[in-house]
């Protein structure tokens, strides 16, 4: 039975590799039906290790995973037909054409959608007669995705779905994921592209060294972060000539040659004061750059902990 609204439930999950290395160190999260959930993290943070446990490719060393109410490893037969998996490396026979690969795969899936429909969804139909070995890296990722969609999955696991895709291919994939989500598919994806998570995910978690460092909606995760303003000081001016930064609500500042960088939670006020100052002084602030708090800021803050450690 899966009357649960949570399609994925992960509780205190652990993964330990041979040799004793603990890659996933007690993480918990849930994903509701029809949600897109993104796992972010630095290289080696444990994203793939986690997704493989959700896909039932290995048993956890501790904790619990449930997908559609079942243990994906012990009850693989109940879970696998209802999920679609796009691995980081698909590894198809390279002599087959795109269409042959999709047909072969469809033969292994009960209730599969017509192969040509899956290829159309990912924009590969016009490349049907091309051999897999002749596809570009981005086209292979699209083929991976087409195969994951063949079984009309209720849950889709996408491990770095847009790595190797050009900007257009990435946008097409985002559109497709949104359309699938709107049709009720639950999507769990890993990505290195922060704008992908920001634009696509309903909720996300940033993993760091096997643990969840922060989780929430993109807005919640960025809310705690400061905004940034940077500009070049005009010739003959020094940072001490600016209005008193502390009184303006500047959290910290750094000066790099002539470039000044400010961090603040009061973006509008600080930007206004700096511009009024420049206008009054009759100077131009070259390279002026004003940025709202972003996921990038949150991510860099978490990654920096590693450097400090």
Ligand X SMILES: Nc1ncnc2c1ncn2[C@@H]1O[C@H](COP(=O)(O)OP(=O)(O)OP(=O)(O)O)[C@@H](O)[C@H]1O
Residues that bind ligand X (CB under 6 A): 17, 21, 23, 41, 43-49
Task: Locate 161 and state its tokens.
Answer: 């779905």
| Closest CB 144 distance from ligand X, rounded Å | 15
Dihedral, 193, 25, 15, 144 alpha carbons, nearest 10: -10
Distance between CA atoms of 135 and 122, rounded to whole angstroms? Answer: 14
| Closest CB 178 distance from ligand X, rounded Å | 24
Residue among 44 and 138 whose Cβ is closer to ligand X: 44
DSSP state of 160: S
| CB-based contact 50:27 (threshold 8 Å) | yes
Most distant CA pair in the chain, distance:
74
| CB-based contact 44:55 (threshold 8 Å) | no
| Closest CB 37 distance from ligand X, rounded Å | 15
Residue among 23 and 86 whose Cβ is closer to ligand X: 23
Residue among 87 and 150 whose Cβ is closer to ligand X: 87
Residue among 290 and 303 whose Cβ is closer to ligand X: 303
**Beta strand 186-190 with 36-41: parallel, antiparallel or unpaired?**
parallel
| Closest CB 64 distance from ligand X, rounded Å | 19
Q: Which residues of 272-300 are buried (b: 16+ CB within 10 A; e: fewer)?
A: ebbeebbeeeeeebeeeebeebbbebbbe
Residue among 50 and 186 whose Cβ is closer to ligand X: 50
Residue among 86 and 267 whose Cβ is closer to ligand X: 86
| Closest CB 48 distance from ligand X, rounded Å | 3
| Closest CB 196 distance from ligand X, rounded Å | 13
Q: Which residues of 59-97 are buried (b: 16+ CB within 10 A; e: fewer)?
A: ebeebebbbbebbbbeeeebbbebbbbbbbeeebeeeeb
């Amino acid at each position: 039975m899966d009357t649960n609204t949570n399609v994925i439930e992960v509780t205190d999950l652990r993964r330990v590799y041979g040799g004793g290395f603990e890659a996933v160190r007690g993480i918990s999260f849930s994903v509701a039906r029809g949600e897109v959930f993104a796992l972010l993290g630095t290289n080696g943070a444990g994203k793939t290790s986690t997704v493989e446990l959700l896909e039932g490719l290995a048993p956890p060393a501790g904790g619990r995973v449930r997908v559609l109410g079942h243990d994906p490893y012990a009850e693989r037969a109940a879970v696998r037909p209802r999920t679609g998996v796009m691995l980081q490396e698909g590894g198809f026979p390279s002599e087959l054409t795109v269409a042959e690969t999709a047909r072969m795969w469809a033969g292994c899936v009960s209730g599969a959608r017509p192969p040509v429909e899956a290829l159309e969804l990912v924009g590969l139909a016009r490349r049907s007669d091309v051999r897999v070995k002749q596809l570009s890296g981005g086209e292979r990722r699209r083929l991976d995705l087409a195969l994951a969609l063949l079984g009309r999955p209720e849950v889709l696991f996408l491990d770095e779905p847009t790595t190797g895709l050009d900007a257009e291919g990435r946008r097409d994939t985002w559109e497709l994921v949104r359309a699938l989500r709107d049709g009720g598919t639950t999507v769990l994806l890993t990505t290195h592209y922060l704008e992908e998570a920001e634009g696509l995910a309903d909720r996300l978690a940033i993993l760091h060294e096997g643990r969840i460092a922060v989780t929430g909606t993109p807005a919640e995760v960025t809310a705690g972060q400061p905004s940034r303003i940077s500009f070049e000081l005009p010739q003959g001016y020094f940072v001490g000539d600016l209005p008193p930064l502390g009184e303006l609500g500047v959290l910290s500042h750094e000066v790099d040659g002539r470039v000044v960088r400010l961090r603040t939670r009061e973006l509008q006020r600080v930007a206004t004061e700096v511009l009024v100052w420049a206008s009054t002084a009759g100077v131009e602030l070259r390279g002026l750059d004003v940025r709202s708090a972003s996921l990038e800021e949150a991510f860099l803050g978490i990654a920096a902990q590693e450097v400090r450690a």
